[in-house]
Chains A and B, each alone.
Chain A
Amino acid sequence: MEFKLTPEQEMLRDTAREFAEKEVEPRVEEIEKTRKIPEDLIKRLFELGFGGIIIPEEYEGSAAGHLARAIILEEIAYSCPALAFTLQIVHLGQAPLIFHGTKEQKEKWLPDLAKGKLIASCAVTEPTGGSDVMGIKTFAKKENNEYVITGRKCFITNVHLANIHGVLAKSGEDPRHMTFFMIEGDRPGVKPGREENKVGLHGCNTGELILDNVRVPVENVIGVEGKGLRVALTAITNVGRMGVAATGVGIIRRCLDEAVKFANQRVLYGQPISRLQAIQWLISDIYLRYETARLLLHRAAWMIDQGIRADAEVGMVKLTATEGAAECASKLSSILGAYGIMEEYAAQRLLRDAYSLIPAAGTNEIMRIVISRKAFERAT
């Protein structure tokens, strides 16, 4: 068993780390205040090739893979979870095409998605809830060679940034008859709606997508008509949940470094508080969470790269990394005392960012259901 990254992955990690340290970290305060990620930073993500990391080379991506993606997202999340989350949803928007698109569809859209000329959202959740996917109300009615789609999606990341949207819609009488579409943003009737104000991940855009009698040709159907749920879930599981998890792992590592730094500097009772066992226990808990989440992340990413089904493993890391991030940010805050709630310190932002990850790409209760499914399957 090999626990070492390949030299390529190490260089990718170092490059992402340097990008985060030099180009992202100095902008975090501005992003927090304006609640907007500057356009030039989004552009840089594509210039460096981070935007096309899971797109095959024949479509102008780099096909670096899901483990490489996880490593890069962790590095960016260490400095700015909101930017990492934005990037991870860029990948999620591409995923339905990568996993289920036809050659023609890939040729049509993937090169522009790799370069950032196109940014796709992935719109599944509706006001009726995200966990109950069958309960969605958006309907696609077939008329000759077109579908007419009407509905309202909510909590859609990057929706105001995107110029093409992946949309899951009901398409038949059977509640399971759903179809997945790519819908260009300039089609009449497509309109991003309200922009949400989240408690964390400031700058990462979330909002509504309104579809009002949008006419879409059958060529825009991704995968098989009526089997759209599979298209959406493959993308959400392998890319969306993994991206949430990688962002969580980045937050946990930042918590660890901030905790160690503060504990070494803060003097109480005539000594640094790092000498106090109570503080050491908190720090070891954070370190343990980091290693656990990172190993689960790398294992699940490796499985996806190998083409092994990893629903439960992805569920495990999504759960561990997001609950871990919230727990570790809370512990960091405890170590910092009153400084933990001051805006000058990263702890409060990390806590808000961590909480914002928890419901993303499926609640952790859904993750437990997915994990338990495998637990029962494996029983002899």
Chain B
Amino acid sequence: MTEELQIIVCIKQVPDPHYLSKITIDPVTKTIRREGIPAVMNPLDRNALEEALRIKEQLGGRVVAISMGPPQAERVCRDALAMGVDEAILLSDRVLAGSDTLATAYALSMAIKKLGSFDIVFCGNETVDGSTAQVPPQLAEFLKVPHITRVRKILSINRNELIVERTIEYGYMKLRVKLPAVIAVTKEINEPRLPTVSAILKCYRKEIKKWTVSDIGVNPRQVGLEGSPTRVIDVFSPEVKRKRKIFEGTTDEAVEWIIEKLHEAGII
């Protein structure tokens, strides 16, 4: 536990979801073609930032945003500064290019360790580009702290623990976690703030720390393409077919039949 609450927020630059219909996949590399698609901060990462800033406003402390990405990802660091974080760090190095979720989580964990002790690491639950939702749990493992994913509400917080609601199918779980921990949030948790005009202008007068792999002491063989065990074999849209069944009979028989089928499916 540190004296002042230390909150870290992981943010990522992704293709603007407004342009989803224009996004295509490169058939050879199986990666998203990003040319001509504006880049924005991953929407859920803004929820993560908002929650961190609300906690800081309530309990005091310090919020640091960290992004791993190409030099252009400086923009999301500026966005975070405009929203009100105390510091923004851009982890950018050619060696990191091609990192999968495991390598990304490893690199982020090393950057977070360099920052020193922390109480909470907030992440968006998943990004709109990859949608794997793997980085937050992997990051927690590297940091050797507990994690909770799909957090939709923070019920209480003190210096030692958090009590949260975690979304599950058809409901939610109430969980208590000891700090430090990694918390991955969903969009229900809050409505991210818009920066003010003054905050926007001021964020460009602030410094963004730029780190390379040598600054955080990562093993270069554990990041980038070489350090990434994931191989994308194919990317395709799964074909979804409705399971049609036709029942012939009287109305009363049909009603009974439908009720039976719904019971079988566990719907009623």
Does A12 lie within 8 Å of B200, measured CB to CB?
yes
A243 at the interface (CB under 8 A from B): no
Does B197 lie within 8 Å of A49, measured CB to CB?
yes
By secondary structure, the A interface counts as: helix
CB contact between B82 and one of A11, A18, A52, A68 (< 8 Å): that residue: A11
B61 at the interface (CB under 8 A from A): no
* Interface size counted on chain A using CB atoms at 8 A: 17
Does A62 lie within 8 Å of B194, measured CB to CB?
no
User: Would you list which residues of chain B between 195 and 248 have a CB under 8 Å from chain A?
Assistant: 195-201, 203-204
B50 at the interface (CB under 8 A from A): no
A64 at the interface (CB under 8 A from B): yes
* Interface size counted on chain B using CB atoms at 8 A: 15
Residues from chain A with a CB closer than 8 A to the CB of B200 are 8, 11-12, 15
Residues from chain B with a CB closer than 8 A to the CB of A68 are 197
Known contacts A7-B75, A11-B79; A48/B201 CB under 8 A? no
Does B75 lie within 8 Å of A53, measured CB to CB?
no
Q: What separation, in Å, do the CA atoms of A303 and B145 have in the docked complex?
A: 56
**Which residue of chain A has the shortest Cβ distance to B199 in the bound complex?**
A49
Q: What separation, in Å, do the CA atoms of A52 and B196 have in the docked complex?
A: 11
Q: What separation, in Å, do the CA atoms of A19 and B82 have in the docked complex?
A: 15
Does A7 lie within 8 Å of B78, measured CB to CB?
yes
A50 at the interface (CB under 8 A from B): yes
Does B82 lie within 8 Å of A47, measured CB to CB?
no
Q: What separation, in Å, do the CA atoms of A62 and B195 have in the docked complex?
A: 13
Does A18 lie within 8 Å of B197, measured CB to CB?
no
Residues from chain B with a CB closer than 8 A to the CB of A11 are 75, 78-79, 82, 195, 200, 203
CB contact between B197 and one of A7, A14, A62 (< 8 Å): that residue: A62
Residues from chain B with a CB closer than 8 A to the CB of A19 are 194
CB contact between A62 and one of B79, B82, B201, B203 (< 8 Å): that residue: B201
Q: What separation, in Å, do the CA atoms of A64 and B75 have in the docked complex?
A: 19
Residues from chain B with a CB closer than 8 A to the CB of A48 are 194, 196-197
Q: What separation, in Å, do the CA atoms of A47 and B196 have in the docked complex?
A: 7
Does A18 lie within 8 Å of B204, measured CB to CB?
no
Return B219 CB to nearest CB of chain A, in Å. 34
Q: What separation, in Å, do the CA atoms of A68 and B196 have in the docked complex?
A: 13
User: Would you list which residues of chain B between 174 and 197 have a CB under 8 Å from chain A?
Assistant: 194-197
26 A–B contacts from the bound complex (CB under 8 Å): A7-B78, A7-B204, A8-B200, A8-B201, A8-B204, A11-B75, A11-B78, A11-B79, A11-B82, A12-B200, A14-B40, A15-B194, A15-B195, A15-B197, A15-B200, A47-B196, A48-B194, A48-B196, A48-B197, A49-B197, A49-B198, A49-B199, A50-B197, A62-B198, A64-B197, A68-B197
CB within 8 Å of A: which residues of B? Answer: 40, 75, 78-79, 82, 194-201, 203-204
